């Protein structure tokens, strides 16, 4: 991934990263990146250090994680309530949750395969939550994502672009 700052269009100071970056402050790029160019694997940008906080927050981020997980056999199970309670639905492909009467309902999930992106709005819009194989998220409350997911999709091997 190539980064530049402080102007748009890859002008200004640049850096190239080929591995995860736990703390962009150590690299002199904390909260100042204005352009990204991704070649190869997809990446997730986090608002806070060590891959925490909101993801992809309009260029103001503090850590970067390259996605190296197996993207085959995607499967996520969404639950209506925290701690995996209530109704559930198991998905294997991109789904508009309005279409299955599960929009703005999910409060927890388990990822059994693939890397998944949950979106606040349909058409991959709004806030995002990225989840990796083996992730079990018992509550969206601490993530400020409770009862807001309207669309989910697995990343596919062809999805090699910035999230």
User: Quick check: helix, strand or coil at residue 18?
Assistant: coil
What digits encode the pLDDT tens for the residues 27-76? 777 766 666 666 666 777 777 787 776 665 445 677 787 788 888 899 99
CATH class of 75-154: mainly beta
So where are the chain's domains? Answer: 2-47+55-66, 75-154
CA dist., res. 158 & res. 51, Å (int): 23
* Selected residue with higher pLDDT from 39 and 146: 146
Taking the alpha carbons of 88, 93, 94, 96 in that order, is the dihedral positive or negative? negative
Please compute the mean of the pLDDT values over residues 16-21 and round it to a whole number: 80
């Amino acid at each position: 991934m190539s980064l530049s700052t402080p102007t748009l269009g890859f002008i200004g100071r640049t850096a190239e990263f080929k591995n995860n970056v736990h703390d962009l402050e150590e690299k002199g790029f904390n909260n100042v990146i204005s352009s990204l160019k991704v070649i190869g694997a997809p990446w997730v940008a986090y608002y806070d250090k060590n891959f925490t906080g909101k993801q992809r927050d309009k260029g103001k981020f503090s850590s970067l994680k390259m996605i190296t997980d197996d993207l085959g056999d995607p499967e996520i199970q969404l639950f209506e309530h925290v701690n995996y309670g209530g109704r559930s639905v198991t998905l294997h492909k991109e789904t508009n949750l309005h279409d299955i009467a599960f929009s703005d309902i999910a409060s927890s999930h388990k990822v059994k395969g693939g890397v998944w992106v949950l979106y606040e709005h349909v058409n991959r819009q709004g806030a995002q939550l990225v989840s990796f194989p083996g992730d079990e998220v018992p509550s969206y409350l601490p993530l400020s994502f409770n009862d807001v997911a309207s669309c989910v999709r697995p990343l596919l091997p062809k999805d090699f672009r910035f999230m």
